[in-house]
Chains A and B, each alone.
Chain A
């Protein structure tokens, strides 16, 4: 036995995340992800339109249950996601470094992502109290307005922030009871898949978050046009116009978050939760 022989490392197969499962893309296509020295790190799934449509079906199916989960439960689950991420910091730092980040910047990004999840976990049972209202109508009615989740949300995650940009857009959408389908960064997709694994062990019901990897040129239009998606979050200024045009097919809400500094404190606030909420106003007569 040669004690000094290097152990052969086991590489991870990076797959997509749909309906609480990790399939490969139905298309069988892939794209190689390389490091700065052109070594192949992984063969990523090149997600297809069909994958996206399957993901929307899963997200729609998960929506009623997640939307009516208690605020307390949603907060607990977001907190649990943060806990799971905390325990796997090293993996995420290593992935960011392999995709070109410096060690210090990668560590900062992972820690900020964990803290961002904690931040939104805490909002779960509070934003409603900030944004709802009892309206003093002049007729004899009790009238109140509350927030309800918009529904299924497409998220085009930032291309230049593999983890923090992803988390900063998913967390405010799901803490408010939406379900989502996310297109991961094309340049830095590794953390998105690993984050799906974190979600998977955090008691988040399957289908609440679905994550695809693939080509943005190919998939952005699909994310914007699908008739059973209620809103789209777009983080790339170059595609805002295209997205807006397609989104009009079913009057999707378009939430543009281009040029956001994801590390900054301004990238987290309850108004980002409100972006994917609807105001519902209910009337009832007061009388005998």
Chain B
């Protein structure tokens, strides 16, 4: 390639730092549990620290909920369900949810900054994607509250009761809104458990819910780790479990609630194939690959973590991808120039690094961008593996980091077979300029969300969820309502 025409990002000129200001945000030294409309101390008085993964500094101390606290939260939710919430006119219920959306929009910049501090994601992503989408979810589902009967022909939709919701650390506020908004719109009350590494925006959301004047106990938020989640899943007075996280934990939950009447939705892992045909717009496809795997440090269940590229353009695509990787800025999440922020936790970094080692041991060739990373904090350079085979663990297993496995194919059938050859089926990508080929591929890839000539797009109106071992049920859109309703026959 002609070096003179190449954009050289890494020498000469540097980007001046463009840090997001944090002087307008308030992070308390300690956060309590949000139960029955109040911030209350945990019964056993234990707290855990949440840190900034980019600096390893402690941000705040957060209450550790035990099963007694979870029990209080479920009782509060049950009382609120029996009391005001299920008796309220649906249109009024909707207005409360609209209020939440509005207050979130007003406080969006504060939410974005805290999300990036606590989770390590680039401020550009939390500002432009996480927070606006979270508010949009509340706005979308608010409007459904008094229109549910139109969504299910021939049925009478009924609320379920108390929903227990457990969310991951990759999109903390967005996942909270995916869970809470439809639950409330359908007339349920909620006990939510945020992830232990990213509890702060959930506690800020608790403030929003209080400020929005929702009846006490309609939303309760209990912080903690796996034990807190287990207490919620196993609580006998829960009517529905909604979980987003790993397939391993999803299995445990499905087993735990066996024999109960608890409804459940599971949004689990993925290993999405991004299939690039020779007739694709290659430069756009390269952007799609980058967005597919490096968005949010690859901490995305629907990440395009497998690139399956047609052989005739493989060298060109991989060459352009490597060049593009050199331009990616890894570093301070609070800097608006940053493309890839901090890995969410030391534990996750360890997992990713174990896969990097494994990939090399399996015989694959590893390439990482040459960027520098800060000394403190948890970081992983954008990484690709070539020379992988279908049975390699880095091809079959979810890594949940900025790590791409690259395979090639000759015929459409071969590409399709490789795309479908994992136990997962959450998402997939197709890049080609041929319309008929798009429809063939998007029909035949066994996954719940397919992006054609784009990747990693989300919208409140668009259902999301997996085939096979990627989960059960859908969240978002009209189809997301069914998860929070019982459909009675019309008499």
A and B: interacting chains: yes
Interface residues of A (CB under 8 A from B): 68, 130, 133, 135-139, 141, 143, 145, 148, 150-151, 230, 240-245, 247-251, 253, 266, 269-271, 278-285
Q: A138–B477 Cα gap in the complex (Å)?
A: 13
- Contact indicator B457/A282 (Cβ below 8 Å): no
B450–A282 touching, CB < 8 Å: yes
Minimum CB–CB distance from A20 to chain B (whole Å) comes to 24
Q: Which of B136, B478, B489 contacts A266 (CB 8 A)?
A: B489
| Residues in chain B near residue A251, CB distance under 8 A | 247, 250-251, 254, 266, 268, 468-472
Measured CB to CB, the nearest residue on chain B to A265 is B489
Q: What CA separation (Å) do A68 and B136 show in the bound complex?
A: 36
Q: Taking the complex as formed, is B154 at the interface, i.e. its CB lies under 8 A from any CB of chain A?
A: yes
Q: Could you mark each residue 455-467 of chain B with 1 if its beta carbon is under 8 Å from any beta carbon of chain A, else 0? A: 0010101111101
CB contact between B255 and one of A130, A245, A270 (< 8 Å): that residue = A245
B477 near A133 with CB under 8 A, answer yes
Given A135-B461, A282-B450, A284-B438, 15 more contacts at CB 8 Å? A68-B443, A135-B459, A135-B477, A136-B461, A137-B462, A139-B459, A145-B463, A230-B467, A230-B468, A241-B259, A251-B250, A251-B468, A282-B452, A283-B462, A284-B452
- Considering the complex, give the chain A residue whose CB is closest to the CB of B429: A283
CB distance from B437 to the nearest CB of A (A): 12
Smallest CB–CB gap between B254 and chain A, Å? 4
Q: Are A279 and B448 in contact (CB under 8 A)?
A: yes
The 7 nearest A-B residue pairs measured at CB = A241-B259, A244-B258, A248-B254, A137-B459, A135-B461, A245-B258, A284-B452
B449 touches A284 (CB 8 A): no
| B residues less than 8 Å from A130 (CB atoms) | 153
- The answer to whether B477 touches A244 (Cβ under 8 A) is no
| Number of chain B residues whose Cβ lies closer than 8 Å to a Cβ of chain A | 47
Central interface residue in B155, B251, B461, B489, by most chain A CB within 10 Å: B461
Q: Which residues of A contact B474 (CB under 8 A)?
A: 279
Question: Who on chain A is nearest to B268 by CB?
Answer: A251
Question: Do A244 and B438 have beta carbons less than 8 Å apart?
Answer: no
Partner of B467, one of A143, A278, A284, A285: A278
Question: Cβ of B252: which chain A residues have Cβ within 8 Å of it?
Answer: 248
Cβ contacts under 8 Å, A230 to chain B: 467-468
Query: A249 vs B251: C-alpha distance in the bound complex, in angstroms?
Result: 6
**A-B CB contact pairs (8 Å), 28 listed:** A133-B463, A135-B459, A135-B477, A137-B462, A138-B136, A139-B457, A139-B459, A141-B454, A145-B479, A150-B467, A151-B468, A241-B258, A243-B258, A248-B251, A251-B254, A253-B472, A271-B155, A279-B465, A279-B474, A279-B479, A280-B449, A281-B449, A281-B450, A281-B462, A281-B477, A282-B449, A283-B451, A283-B462
Q: Is the CB of B259 within 8 A of A240?
A: yes
Q: Which residue of A lies closest to B459 (CB)?
A: A137
Chain B residues 407 to 453 lying within 8 A of chain A, measured CB to CB, are: 423, 438, 442-443, 446-453
Say yes or no: is B487 at the interface (Cβ < 8 Å to chain A).
yes
Q: What distance in Å separates the Cβ of A151 from its nearest Cβ neighbour in chain B?
A: 8
With a cutoff of 8 Å between Cβ atoms, the chain B residues found around residue A245 in the complex are 255, 258
Write the nearest CB–CB distance from B475 to chain A, whole angstroms: 11
Set of chain A residues within 8 Å of B254, measured between Cβ atoms: 244, 247-248, 251
Instruction: Determine the chain B residues whose CB is within 8 A of the CB of A139 once the complex forms.
Output: 457, 459
Closest chain A residue to B457 by CB distance? A283
